[in-house]
Structure formats: structure tokens, C-alpha cells
């Protein structure tokens, strides 16, 4: 599963970890995150994330 990085603050979404604080269970693919989810660090939406290369 691909990791994604927040273009604004650099926080990395790791699908294996999810974002339990916002109700995203470990194993949640980035594509399956609801549209109203926000970056837990800076508050931007999914559209401000990019695939983490490497």
C-alpha cells in the first residue's frame, strides 16, 4: 500500500498505521479515506497530499 505525504506540512500517511485519532483504522488505503478527512497536523484535505516516492 502506498504512503502519501502532505504537501503543506510534510506529515506522512502510512496506511498500515491509519489515523486512529480520526477514526481511520490501520489498513485504510489512502483512496478509501473519506473526503472530509483532514491532515491531523495542518488541517488540509486529501487533495493536498501526494504519493510518497521511494
At 46, give phi and psi (nearest 5°).
-55, -35
Residue 10 binds another protein (CB under 8 A): yes
Contact predicate 44/52, CB 8 Å: no
Residue 12 binds another protein (CB under 8 A): no
Listed ranges 3-11, 12-20, 25-33: which one lies at the site for another protein (CB under 8 A)? 3-11
At 14 the three-state DSSP class reads coil
Joined together, the cell numbers standing for residue 15 give: 496506511
Task: Tell me the per-residue interface mask from 25 to 54 with Fe ion, x by CB under 5 A, - otherwise.
Answer: --------------x-xx------------
Amino acid at each position: 500500500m502506498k504512503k502519501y505525504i502532505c504537501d503543506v506540512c510534510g506529515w506522512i500517511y502510512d496506511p498500515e498505521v491509519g489515523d486512529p485519532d480520526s477514526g481511520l483504522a490501520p489498513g485504510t488505503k489512502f483512496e478509501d479515506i473519506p473526503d472530509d478527512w483532514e491532515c491531523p497536523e495542518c488541517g488540509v484535505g486529501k487533495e493536498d497530499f501526494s504519493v510518497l516516492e521511494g
